[in-house]
């Protein structure tokens, strides 16, 4: 069976890193190449100034990477609405209350980063080894940029990635009861209909990660581990996680936040 993912280097200087990654993931290394010139695998990890997940072929969409410094997240950090953002309201953020958050399904870390920019200490969990590498690469570049930018330094100090690669349900089950103020869940959910089509640049990412078929298993250990609340981000059309109705739901621009409370957040 042909591999679905391979490693490439952007330049010859990046080739040693690509070869090391190839050994680490037990994936073929195709040397120095461009994703548009590759047809033998549907996607590649490109080692260069940043690590990128790329679909291959001449008409492939743009790459996916984790960029906590520039791009869309930089714009959101500066102009995204601060504490008025739906994710901030969902976790209960308010003046003087910046809860520690466990993002148990971190993905590309976007919501975790937003919460860190607003003052929350956030630990990310991610079980997919390739996505973990993208996150680690994004954190590395954030820490490098933080040396010259005090604002980024404060954010970098609040954002971390757990070393564990265990499934989130298992990791949560090992936590002490009510040891995390907020547990945040955003499991993958299959898109439905034209209105929920995956953005072109995310096609490779969704092919890699697939659906979280065990997503329902997350809720019970999350509720046990949280103190204030568990927040579940869902598409607007998605059923409740584990078919359990939340105490509160409200909609954001692109989805819905279901909130399961245990203890009230400080007023």
**What pLDDT is stored for residue 195 in this prediction?**
43
HEC assignment per residue over 197-260: CCCHHHHHHHHHHCCCCCHHHHHHHHHHHEEEEEEEEECCCCCCHHHCCCCEEEECCCCEEEEE
> Are 135 and 21 part of one and the same domain?
no
User: Residue 63's closest CA among 73, 71, 74, 51?
Assistant: 51
- Tell me whether residue 127 is annotated as binding: yes
Same domain for 196 and 144, yes or no, is yes
Q: Are residues 182 and 83 in the same domain?
A: yes
In this structure, the answer to whether residues 121 and 78 fall within a common structural domain is yes
| Position 22 pLDDT exceeds 90 | yes
User: Is residue 66 assigned to a domain?
Assistant: no
Average pLDDT value over all residues in the chain: 89
Domain tally, the chain: 2
| 258 belongs to an annotated ligand binding site | no
31-86 per-position pLDDT tens digit: 999 999 999 999 999 999 999 999 999 888 889 999 999 888 887 887 677 788 89
29-32/5-9 β-pairing:
parallel
Kindly report the backbone phi and psi dihedral angles of residue 261, in degrees, each rounded to the nearest multiple of 5, phi listed first.
-95, 150
The first and second tokens of residue 128, run together, are 């997919």
Question: Is 62 domain-assigned?
Answer: no
One domain for residues 9 and 116? no
Which pLDDT value is given to residue 194?
Answer: 47
For residues 196 and 202, give the distance between their C-alpha atoms in angstroms, rounded to a whole number. Answer: 12
58 known ligand binder = no
CATH number, domain containing residue 99: 3.40.50.150
Q: What is the pLDDT of residue 146?
A: 96
| 36: in domain | yes
Does the residue 165 lie in any domain? yes
Do both 192 and 241 map to the same domain?
yes
- From residue 218, how far is each of 23, 163, 171, 261 by CA, in Å? 32, 19, 10, 16
Percent over 90 (pLDDT), the chain? 70
Residue 122 bridge partners (DSSP): 101, 159
Q: Angle CA(103)–CA(109)–CA(110) in degrees, nearest 5?
A: 110
* pLDDT (0 to 100) of residue 196: 43
Do 40 and 113 share a domain, yes or no?
no
Per-residue model confidence (pLDDT) at position 203: 62
Give the per-residue pLDDT at 177.
97
111: left (phi > 0), else alpha (psi -120 to 50), else beta? alpha
CA atoms within 13 A on the CB side of 31: 1
Query: Residue 234, annotated ligand binder?
Result: no
Which of 131-135, 224-228, 235-239 bottoms out in mean pLDDT, i.e. has the lowest?
Answer: 235-239
Which stretches of 83-212 are DSSP H helices? 86-91, 110-117, 129-146, 150-156, 168-173, 203-209
151 and 247 housed in the same domain: yes
Give yes or no: residues 133 and 33 share one domain.
Answer: no
Q: What is the pLDDT of residues 88-117, one digit of tens each?
A: 999 999 999 999 999 999 999 999 999 999
Structural domain harbouring 15 = 5-55
> Is 186 assigned to a binding site?
yes
Element (H, E) at 157: none
Q: Do residues 134 and 64 lie in contact, with contact meaning Cβ atoms separated by under 8 Å?
A: yes
Q: Residue 64: inside a domain, yes or no?
A: no
- Global model pTM greater than 0.85: yes
Which residues are 5's β-sheet partners? 43
Specify the pLDDT at position 214. 83
Say yes or no: 136 and 31 in one domain.
Answer: no
Q: Confidence class of residue 200 from pLDDT cuts 50, 70 and 90?
A: low
Residue 15 resides in a domain? yes
Q: Are residues 15 and 46 in the same domain?
A: yes
Give domain status of residue 35, yes or no: yes
Report whether pLDDT(182) > 80.
yes
Same domain membership, residue 144 and residue 193: yes
211 confidence band (pLDDT: 50, 70, 90) = low
In a domain, residue 60? The reply is: no
Which position has the higher pLDDT, 56 or 205?
56
The Cα 233–Cα 89 span in angstroms is 12
pLDDT-derived band at 28, boundaries 50, 70, 90? very high
Q: Are 255 and 233 in contact (CB under 8 A)?
A: yes
């Amino acid at each position: 069976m042909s591999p679905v993912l391979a490693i490439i280097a952007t330049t010859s200087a990046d080739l040693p890193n690509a070869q090391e990654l190839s050994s680490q993931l037990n994936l073929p290394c195709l040397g120095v190449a461009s994703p548009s010139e590759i047809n033998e695998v549907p996607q590649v990890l490109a080692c260069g100034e940043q690590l990128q997940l790329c679909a291959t072929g001449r008409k492939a969409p743009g790459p996916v990477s984790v960029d906590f410094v520039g791009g869309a997240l930089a714009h959101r950090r500066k102009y995204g609405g601060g504490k008025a953002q739906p994710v901030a309201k969902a976790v209960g953020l308010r003046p003087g209350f910046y809860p520690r958050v466990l993002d148990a399904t971190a993905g590309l870390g976007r919501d975790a980063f937003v919460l860190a920019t607003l003052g929350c200490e956030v630990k990310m969990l991610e079980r997919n080894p390739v996505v973990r590498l993208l996150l680690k690469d994004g954190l590395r570049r954030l820490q490098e940029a933080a040396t010259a930018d005090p604002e980024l330094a404060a954010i970098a100090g609040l954002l971390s990635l757990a070393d564990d690669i265990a499934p989130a349900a298992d990791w949560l089950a090992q936590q002490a009861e009510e040891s995390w103020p907020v547990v945040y869940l955003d499991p993958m959910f299959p898109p439905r209909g034209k209105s929920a089509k995956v953005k072109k640049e995310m096609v490779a990412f969704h092919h890699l990660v697939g659906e979280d078929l065990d997503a329902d298993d997350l809720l019970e250990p999350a509720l046990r581990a949280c103190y204030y609340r568990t927040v579940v981000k869902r598409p607007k059309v998605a059923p409740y996680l584990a078919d359990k109705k939340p105490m509160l739901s409200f909609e954001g621009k692109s989805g819905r936040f279901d909130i399961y409370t245990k203890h009230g957040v400080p007023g």
